[in-house]
Amino acid sequence: EVQLVQSGAEVKKPGESLKISCKGSGYSFTSYWIGWVRQMPGKGLEWMGIIYPGDSDTRYSPSFQGQVTISADKSISTAYLQWSSLKASDTAMYYCARLNRGGDIDYWGQGTLVTVSS
């Protein structure tokens, strides 16, 4: 069974750093793109970027380029999303997701809620 299990909810202050994780299981982690999707409170879905764990090829949405870093450690089948300096506007639910061969998301993680507040 394909599963993507994300790390737990985080409460941070503005300016702090953060790294959240997404562990894949039940499939060949290095053979599928993993994406990160943001959903701000009461809002829609936004693509942040994708990574191919097999060779760490990474693509970012222009809106998120330079704002976050996406990485993966294929030895432990885990992808990461990190911030060096959080802002209140980063408060959102973040989903990791697996892309199928056609580029559609076929599996989603359960989401990680990030709250940034002073």
Partner 1 sequence: QSALTQPASVSGSPGQSITISCTGTSSDVGGYNYVSWYQQHPGKAPKLMIYEVSNRPSGVSNRFSGSKSGNTASLTISGLQAEDEADYYCSSYTSSSTLRVFGGGTKLTVL
The residue ranges that bind partner 1 (CB under 8 A) are 35, 44-47, 49-50, 59, 61-62, 95, 100, 102-106, 108-111
| CA quadruple 73, 76, 80, 82: dihedral sign | negative
CB of 109 to partner 1, least distance (A): 7
Q: CA gyration radius for the chain?
A: 13
Tell me how far apart the alpha carbons of residues 24 and 4 are, in angstroms, rounded to a whole number. Answer: 5
Nearer to partner 1, 58 or 71 (CB): 58
CB of 75 to partner 1, least distance (A): 26
CB of 3 to partner 1, least distance (A): 12
> Residue 75 contacts by C-beta under 8 Å, 6 or more apart in sequence?
none
CA distances from 95 to 4, 106, 118 (A): 10, 13, 24
Nearer to partner 1, 17 or 110 (CB): 110
CB of 46 to partner 1, least distance (A): 7
Nearer to partner 1, 49 or 53 (CB): 49
